[in-house]
Amino acid sequence: MTLFLFCLIVFYASCSVAGQLFFKRAMSEQVKSPRARRLLDLAAGVLAMTLGFCTWLALLHRFDLSFLYPFEGLERVLLALAACLFLREKMTKDLWIGVSLICLGTIFVAAS
Amino acid sequence: MIRCYFFDDLGQELVEHEVDWNWDRSMKEQRKEAPGFLSKGLANWEVPGRSGFLNPYLQLFISIVLTAAAQVFLKLGVDSQSGLPWYTLSNLFSFWVLAGVLAMLMSLLSWLYALKSVPLVVAFNLAATNHIMVAIGSWIFLGEEISIRRWVGISLIALGAGFIARPLARVEEKI
């Protein structure tokens, strides 16, 4: 796997996480934001998800599903790291163990 | 009534509590109204059994299976266009790709329905089995050969996804 393809996988995971965060913000009942802002968030979510989906199809063209799908685990790692950076969530022991296992598993799959 | 289990203030003893349960309202709403510690994210709620197709755990299972099926469909769709370059838009209009998108949408509906009553932590933990299901699906329906090293990697990722479920559920509730 080349560096370019790995970057494409990370790009897909980032689009997916960004899409989820935009959707969450657009739909959240707790955040009181104007309607226009919610629509903008929704549009951004759809755009990010569409970009991610097209990237995923392009990647499926190139790789076996059993090879590619495990990289989807990186989404959770990115979401957890984004939460630590932007929401100031603490890195708990469970989070460290989970992130380490996913990274280790990803290395195993990439080397297979 | 719904049974709810939680640890006492010292975090040592498991206490059982019963609260009124309304199927037409979301679990999140009802948690907010629950007294004291029950309203916090760490209390473990047990959803009363609802038989048949509307059982939330059955819906969660359907959602997980549909997610795995969607991936297999997408791969079948992309493979059916193997003569064309990867960036071509005709990928999007293959029968299997459309079936994959439909399966994804149905999976999302089941997921959202299940989340009305199944705790996020439990849902995330069970969703971690997706990795195993997709691998089995690729092996059976796509004829992919999966090496021992890849199985080890997939199992580690599924295990990691299980560990990360609780902190992620907390983040989801916070966002």
In this prediction, residue B55 has a pLDDT band, given cuts at 50, 70 and 90, of confident
pLDDT of residue B21 exceeding 70, the answer is no
Q: CB B150 to CB A89 under 8 A?
A: no
A1: contact with B, CB 8 A cutoff:
no
Concatenate the DSSP letters of all residues of A24-59 into one string.
HHHH-SSS---HHHHHHHHHHHHHHHHHHHHHHHHH
CB B5 within 8 A of CB B46: yes
List pLDDT tens digits, range A43-90.
Answer: 998 999 889 988 988 888 888 888 888 888 888 788 777 777 776 667
Domain map (residue ranges) of chain B: 1-48, 53-174
What is the pLDDT averaged over residues B87-107? 82
**Residues whose CB falls within 8 Å of the CB of residue A22, separated by 6 or more in sequence, listed in order:** A41, A42, A44, A45, A48
Among left, alpha and beta (phi > 0; psi -120 to 50; other), residue A95 is alpha
Decide if A76 touches B, using CB distance below 8 A: yes
Tokens 């994959």 locate to B100
B70 falls in which pLDDT band (50, 70, 90)? very high
Confidence of residue B100 (pLDDT cuts 50, 70, 90): very high
B29 contact A CB<8A: no
| Residue showing tokens 């469909």 | B73
Point out which residues pair with B19 in neighbouring strands. B2
What is the percent of chain B with per-residue pLDDT over 90, rounded to a whole number?
13
Q: Is any Cβ of chain B less than 8 angstroms from the Cβ of A65? A: yes
The separation between the first and the last C-alpha atoms of chain B, rounded to the nearest angstrom, is 29
Q: How far is B80 from chain A (nearest CA, A)?
A: 10
Direct distance between the N- and C-terminal alpha carbons of chain A, in angstroms, rounded to an integer: 11
pLDDT range class, residue B10, cuts 50, 70, 90: low
Confidence of residue B106 (pLDDT cuts 50, 70, 90): very high
